[in-house]
Amino acid sequence: MNDLQVLWLHELRQIRRKRWLWLYIAAFGALCALVSVSSIAVGKVSGVVSFGPTAATLINLNLVVVSLMALLAGALGIVSDRETQILSYLVSLPVTISEVFFAKLGALITALSSTVGIGFAISFLVMSYAGATGNITDVLQFALETWLLMLCTASLGVLISVFSRTTVVAIGVAIVVWLGLIVIGDLGIMAGALTVHLSTQTLLFVTMANPLEAYKIASVAALSGSVDVLGPGGRLATDLFGPALMPLLSCILLAWSLGSLTVAHAWIGKRDAA
C-alpha cells in the first residue's frame, strides 16, 4: 500500500472510534425507520402503500439532518487534529500535507456515506417488507442526489475547518452557514425579489445556486419525473433546461464540493505544511 492508503485506513480507524459517527448512524437510521413506518400507516389507511410519500418526507429530512450532519463532521475534521497537535505530528512524518488532507477527506466521506447508506437501506427494507411500490431507477437517482448533498455540505465543513482556529469557532460557523443555506437563503431570496423586483428567471438562477435548493429540485425531479409540482418556477426550469435540468443541478452540487475542497487544500498547504 502507498502512503495515502495507509493514512486513509488510519484515519478511518480513528473516525470509527469517535462517538459522533455512531450517534449519527443511530439517529439517522431511527429517523428513516420512523418515516417509513409512518408512511406505511398512512398508506394502509388510503389503501395504497407507495414509496412516494416516504421519499417526499425523506427529502425534507435529508435537507435538515444530512446537511447539518455532514457540515458538522467536516467542520471538526481538520481543526480538532490541529488543536491536539495530531496534524503537526502527521505532517512531520515522511508524507505530504496533501496526502494527509486527502486521507482525512476520504475517511470522512467513507464514514458519512456509510451513515447515509445505512439510513436509506433501513428505509428501503421497511418499505419493501410492506410491499411498497416504486421505480428502482428513481430511487437510486434520489439516493445519488442525497449523496451529492452529503458530499457538498461535508466539503463546505472541511473548508470551514481549515480556516478555523478552534473547534468552537468551527462548529459555530458551520451552524451559521447551515442556517444561512436552509433558512435565511429562502427568506433572503424572497426579500430580494420583493425589494429589487427580480425577474422569475433571475430568481430561478439564484435559487438553483443554493446547493440545498438544487438538491431539493433534483430530488423532486428524480422521484416525480418533473418539477412542475414546484409551481411556475418548476415550469420555467423545465422550459429553460429540459432534460438537462437534473444533470445541471447535480453539477451545481459537484461544483460547490470541488470549489470548497480546492480552496481548503490550497489553504491547508500554506498554513499547515511542515
Q: Outline where DSSP puts E strands in 82-126.
A: none
Q: What pLDDT score does 258 carry?
A: 95
Q: What pLDDT score does 213 carry?
A: 86
Q: Does residue 274 register a pLDDT over 60?
A: no
Supply the mean pLDDT for the chain.
81
Give the pLDDT band (50/70/90) at residue 105: very high
Q: What pLDDT score does 184 carry?
A: 66
Instruction: Give the C-alpha separation, 31 to 151, whole Å.
Output: 20
Least confident residue range of 28-37, 84-93, 130-139:
130-139
Q: How far are the Cα atoms of 127, 198, 204, 214 from residue 48, in angstroms, in the given order? A: 12, 42, 35, 30
pLDDT tens digit string along 7-60?
888 888 888 888 888 888 888 888 888 887 777 776 666 555 566 667 778 888
Q: What pLDDT score does 43 carry?
A: 61
Cβ(46)–Cβ(38) under 8 Å? no
Least confident residue range of 102-106, 202-206, 256-260:
202-206
Query: Which residue ranges make up each domain of the chain?
Result: 3-271
Give the pLDDT band (50/70/90) at residue 246: confident
